[in-house]
Amino acid sequence: MNHSLNILSILLLMSSTLLAQNKWKEAKFETYHQITNPNDGKILGYGHNSGVKILTVNDLAFKDLNKNGKLDKYEDWRLSTAERANDLASKLSVEEIAGLMLYSSHQSVPARSGGYFAGTYGGKPFKEGEIDPSQLTDQQIKFLKEDHLRHVLVTTVSSPEIAAKWNNNLQSYCESIGFGIPANNSSDPRHGTKASAEYDAAAGGEISMWPSSLGLAATFDPSLVKRFGEIAAQEYRALGITTALSPQVDMATEPRWGRYNGTFGESPKLSAAMGQAYCEGFQSDNWGLKSVNAMVKHWPGGGSGEAGRDAHYGSGKFAVYPGNNFSEHLIPFIDGAFKLKSKTQMASAVMPYYTISWNQDPKNNENVGNSYNKYLITDLLRVKYKYNGVVCTDWGITGDQKHLDQFIDGRSWGVDKLTVAERHYKILMAGVDQFGGNNDAKPIIEAYYMGVKEIGEQKMRARMEESAVRLLTNIFNVGLFENPYVNPAETKTLVGKPEFMEEGYKAQLKSIVLLKNKNQALPIKSKKTVYVPKRFVPAGRNFLGAPSPESEDYPVNMNVVKKYYNITDNPDEADFALVCIESPKTSIGYDKKDLEQGGNGYIPISLQYGTYTATEARSVSIAGGDPLESFTNRSYKNKTTIASNHTDAKLVQDTHRKMKGKPVIVSVLTNNPMVFSEIEPYADAILINYGVQDQAILETIMGNAEPSARLPMQMPQDMITVENQAEDKPYDVKPYKDEKGNVYDFGFGLNWKGVIMKSKEF
């Protein structure tokens, strides 16, 4: 009798097992398995070598991430994100929570063989053909295992397919250790254009190409920005990227600021609308596998750096508010990124800027970097504006400052006397959750024990769990705990697919602003003969400090030009000229040579090409004070500078002379507002762009696309009005007026018929 019952039990168990297996389906890919649950249940992915087993509960499949043989709450995809995040946070050790608080330094795939952010594979640098570029570096394995890091910043990738394979290797490794917490990979904006790349509607690319944020703002079309976000999110997810370190919604009220072209311009309303649309596009209508977390930056706004200097450098650490306009800088956050129309509600993360928001802390009267400031993070962001997403510092703010003019440096503004661990503790107590650019958990753990000593273990553990819940919430929301894997074959076809390239290209066309069109010089429809002068570029250094050699070459892809016009190098044979230049480039506002000659090191940042002497600059700077300086006055009054590309203005003037009255069309790649008096009188038509393919410019000149974009900022009349404006106020320069009487003010732009009517919305 017992024997018969045993046989019956075995048969029933086998039948139940077979039935359960039929309830969900499993497919095997190169490095991972994929399970499809029934009735719209979650899709699961787990690595071949991760050691994860599948649990079957009520005929549904779940991943046993911690490999304990039972279904924990955090593994149960039927529960709410809040329940799961709180359950897992309560299980983590202090060391594991500290790992969640880390955000890696820049990671290239494959790793560079030398220099900044280099990596090794089994102790050896990467070598093509010998090392698989999709493998993890020694350094990555260390920070994933020993430091429990799970937030990885991805920079360059050799190809979309390699990026997908690297992601899968990364996720499988994360799945194999600890609680199986997946990696939340991120990226800075990566959809910029390659100017010389030819556009082919039938061909794809490495990734779709779009104008910069400033170019998107010039369209005055939030729906276009939302569509960009939707497409970019699909490409990011296919690459294994689930957090965008964007959008940058700082109001660009200081026209000399070095990061101006990463913003949506100087209007608070336009910046709010564009930031809102951007986040809605990336995060999607509902959280899930289509979503990418948006990390909006930079709270509470970094666009008012004194005299245009930028806080990546010690010389530019201060944001100033001479117009008492601090509150308006919050509008793009509180009325934009924090007020989404979708069910995701608000941008899931926020990054404060490096700057010291000078004298904007009425509670504690601290002039420290924004991430160190408890009033700005807790009282203002958390309490007043009820933001409960992740707050992540900008990269490298806890290191020691050693220079005033180096891009790679520590940025512990205002807290230089604290130890590295004390800086981490101050940031935690200010209300920040995460440390950008830090691969090492040790100082966070030290900070934890400082807190235990000061406020007790229970309260400090609660403070750590508070951040852990926020950080885990963002990982749960985008579905990574269920399926962090991507199919490299699908990645190869989706990223940069023709339809996405086409939409990006159309956006480029919509972003080009026509500023001047004397005597209807444009469009030039027939295949006439064009003279394109070569452009001289002197040796210099870019924003990162990297040197660039001098060159003299055609500034546009001449193979593209040939598709539209005949080409000559003889102005006498040409029907018109096309001059391609860039807006003026000066310096970061600091020069050691001035210091060596007895000055304070500070020099003007100019928006004109020619020699500029700052006779109208402040005699005494608003802000100052640095451990590397024995003075506080950072004035540059009466000092002189000249744009490194000052020859661009001469190129326009010389071409005008050579053309002897024939039309001169000027195309300007624009990164900042600029003074047009040196080139406008010598141009018959002026087109400005914010990063487009050469072909988009030629299509516009030919008339195949009609300009519809408008200025998202004012173009100043001269540098005197720039010196007299307040760094924190929009619309407070006197705009330039051209020979036709048109004023280059915010919202100005032309189409073929004339001035485009301004919209009332912005």
Cα separations (Å) of 49 from 13, 173, 554, 641?
28, 8, 53, 60
- Identity at 1, one-letter amino acid code: M
pLDDT of residue 199: 84
Q: What is the pLDDT averaged over residues 617-624?
A: 98
Residues of the chain with CATH 3.20.20.300: 86-494
Residue 750 forms beta bridges with which residues?
514, 755
Which phi and psi angles does 502 have, rounded to 5°?
-65, -45
Give the pLDDT score at 538.
84
* The pLDDT value given to residue 198: 85
Give me the percent of the chain exceeding a pLDDT of 90: 91
Position 17 pLDDT exceeds 50:
no
At 34-52, the pLDDT tens digits run: 999 998 899 999 999 999 9
Q: What is the mean pLDDT of residues 530-551?
A: 82
Residue 22 has pLDDT above 70, yes or no: no
Q: Measured between alpha carbons, how far is residue 499 from residues 210, 291, 310, 735 in Å?
A: 13, 20, 38, 39
Q: What is the mean pLDDT of residues 528-547?
A: 83
For Cα atoms 507, 513, 519, give the angle at the middle one, nearest 5 degrees.
Answer: 135
What's the pLDDT tens digit per position in 723-747?
Answer: 999 999 999 999 999 999 999 999 9
Residue ranges of alpha helices (H) inside 188-347 are 213-218, 222-239, 268-283, 331-332
pLDDT the model gives residue 1: 44
Cβ atoms of 420 and 433 closer than 8 Å: no
Rounded to an integer, what distance in angstroms lies between the CA atom of residue 575 and that of residue 552? Answer: 24
pLDDT at residue 202, rounded to an integer: 77
Encode pLDDT of 654-685 as tens digits: 999 999 999 999 999 999 999 999 999 999 99
Per-residue pLDDT at 549? 84
Q: Tell me, what amino acid is at 128?
A: E
Confidence of residue 542 (pLDDT cuts 50, 70, 90): low
pLDDT at 457 over 60: yes
> What's the pLDDT score for residue 124?
95
pTM, two decimal places = 0.95
pLDDT at position 545 is 64
Q: How far, in Å, CA of 272 to CA of 338, rounded?
A: 9
Mean pLDDT for the stretch of residues 507-519: 98
Distance between first and last Cα of the chain:
85
Is the predicted pLDDT of residue 308 greater than 60, yes or no?
yes
pLDDT of residue 540: 73
Q: Give the model's confidence band at 550: pLDDT under 50 very low, under 70 low, under 90 confident, else very high.
A: confident
Domain with CATH 3.40.50.1700 in the chain: 512-585+645-755
State residue 758's pLDDT score: 80
**Where residue 20 falls among pLDDT bands split at 50, 70, 90?**
very low
* pLDDT: which is higher, 104 or 205: 104
Per-residue pLDDT, 21: 52
Q: What is the C-alpha to C-alpha distance for residues 290 and 179, in angstroms, rounded to an integer?
A: 24
- 598-615 pLDDT, tens digit per residue, is 999 999 999 999 999 999
| 639-to-471, 616, 646, 722 alpha-carbon distances in Å | 48, 10, 17, 15
CATH 3.20.20.300 assigned to 86-494: yes
Q: Which residues contact 40 (CB under 8 A, 6 or more apart)?
A: none
User: Cβ neighbours of residue 704 under 8 Å, at least 6 residues apart?
Assistant: none
| pLDDT at 6 (0 to 100) | 52
**Residue-averaged pLDDT of the chain:** 95
Q: For residues 16 and 166, which has the higher predicted lDDT (pLDDT)?
A: 166
* Region 512-585+645-755: CATH code: 3.40.50.1700
Confidence band of 11 (pLDDT split at 50, 70, 90) = very low
Nearest to 589 by CA among 401, 317, 376, 356: 317
| Residue 543 banded pLDDT, cuts 50, 70, 90 | low
Residue 201, pLDDT above cutoff 80 = no
**Confidence class of residue 592 from pLDDT cuts 50, 70 and 90?**
very high
Name the nearest CA neighbour of 689 among 512, 538, 508.
512
Least confident of 88-92, 112-116, 593-597: 112-116
Distance (Å, whole) CA 360 – CA 379: 12
Tell which residue, 85, 99, 154, has the closest CA to residue 388.
Answer: 85
Q: List all residues 6 or more positions away from 632 whose beta carbon is below 8 Å from its beta carbon.
A: 621, 624, 625
Residue 587, burial from CB neighbour count under 10 angstroms (0-12, 13-18, 19+): buried
pLDDT, residue 761, reads 78
291-303 mean pLDDT:
98
Q: Report percent pLDDT > 70 for the chain.
A: 96
Which alpha helices (DSSP H) does 240-384 contain, by range?
268-283, 331-332, 374
Per-residue model confidence (pLDDT) at position 18 = 44
pLDDT reading at 175 higher than 70: yes
Helix or strand (DSSP H, E) at 318: strand 318-319
Residue 16 confidence (pLDDT) above 50:
no
